[in-house]
Amino acid sequence: MAPASAQAYVEDDSFERDTDYIPDRITRDGRDGWQVRPDTYRLVAAKACPWATRSIIVRQLLGLQDVISLGLAAPVHDERSWTFDLDLGAKDPVLGIHFLKDAYERRFPAYDKGVTVPAMVDVASGQVVTNDFPQITHDLFFEWQDFHRDDAPDLWPDDVRDEMEEVMQRVYDDVNNGVYRCGFAGSQSSYEEAYDRLFAALDWLEERLAGRRYLMGATITEADVRLFTTLARFDAVYHGHFKCNRNKLTEMPALWGYARDLFQTPGFGDNTNFAQIKQHYYRVHEDINPTGIVPKGPDPAGWRTPHGREALSSS
């Protein structure tokens, strides 16, 4: 089955993510034709998907729940599209559609790329606006600031932004996308190369987080959101399903403590659904898991255990 959740291609037996997303943006000045307005757009996401869960977390951290509505797609789909099987009548209650592809095709009748989440949809027209996932969270911070809650975190601090961009780039290349390069490798050599890059990056992150609470210091930034959604899926999916099995997340003390710290922060753990995560990967990726059997473990109770990282805030 070709998953509707991923735009990808294989080059020289290596997985590469196709990042040719719909480039439109929703901005204060509406320069792309889509202007920031409350009660105008619907964020369609899925708690199964790490890229989409980023946008759910950022939306909540910034307090935009009453400004941008949220539609949640079901974790299991076929090659056609994400669906709204979680909703009554298997239709999104606001958009009135069963397949997310309908919102794409209302704007692009011959749309032939992956129907991905997250997607911002214009409610009035029912048309997709953008599915550019890194730009969506960037714009939720910079373009929607007039509607942020008063104590919203500064997810893009000026004083560390250049370094943060470098950190996020390596996290994306070697960790977020690295696990996929392991899982979808077409040869032993491409798998081993991706595996080595992944664990070199995790070792780098383990060292970095040994002396600081979050990736950029004492406060949560966009970089933490981007890393968290991969860590949350690591032991449940990537360790076995994608063959990322040098060690588990729970065996890396700083990263495991850091991940629990974020999980226990409002916006992170309450938007992490391990059942949906496992259903998605183990049932949709039929080429990797042809039986469709979904593992029972690991026990998620460990995510609620004390992490002891509060003292690092003053480091």
Report d(CA 172, CA 191) in Å as an integer: 17
In this structure, which amino acid lies at residue 177? N
Residue labelled with tokens 């959740």: 5
How many helices (H) and strands (E) in the chain? 9, 6
Report d(CA 300, CA 303) in Å as an integer: 6
Give kind and range of the element (H or E) at residue 274: helix 274-284
Helix (H), strand (E), coil (C) string for 52-87: HHHHHHHHHHCCCCCCCEEEECCCCCCCCCCECCCC
Of 49, 104, 191, 238, the catalytic one is: 49
Residue labelled with tokens 């922060």: 265
- Assess whether the previous peptide bond of 109 is cis (omega < 30° from 0): no
- Is the separation of the CB atoms in 302 and 253 below 8 Å? no
Q: Which residues contact 243 (CB under 8 A, 6 or more apart)?
A: 182, 183, 191, 195
Of 21, 41, 104, 180, the catalytic one is: 180
**111 catalytically annotated:** no
End-to-end CA distance of the chain: 49
Residue 156 marked ligand-binding: no
**49 catalytically annotated:** yes
Furthest C-alpha separation in the chain: 54
Q: Which residues contact 158 (CB under 8 A, 6 or more apart)?
A: none
- Is the separation of the CB atoms in 17 and 172 below 8 Å? no
Can you say which residues are annotated as belonging to the binding site?
Answer: 82
Q: Which residues are catalytic?
A: 49, 180
Can you say which residues are annotated as belonging to the binding site for glutathione?
Answer: 82
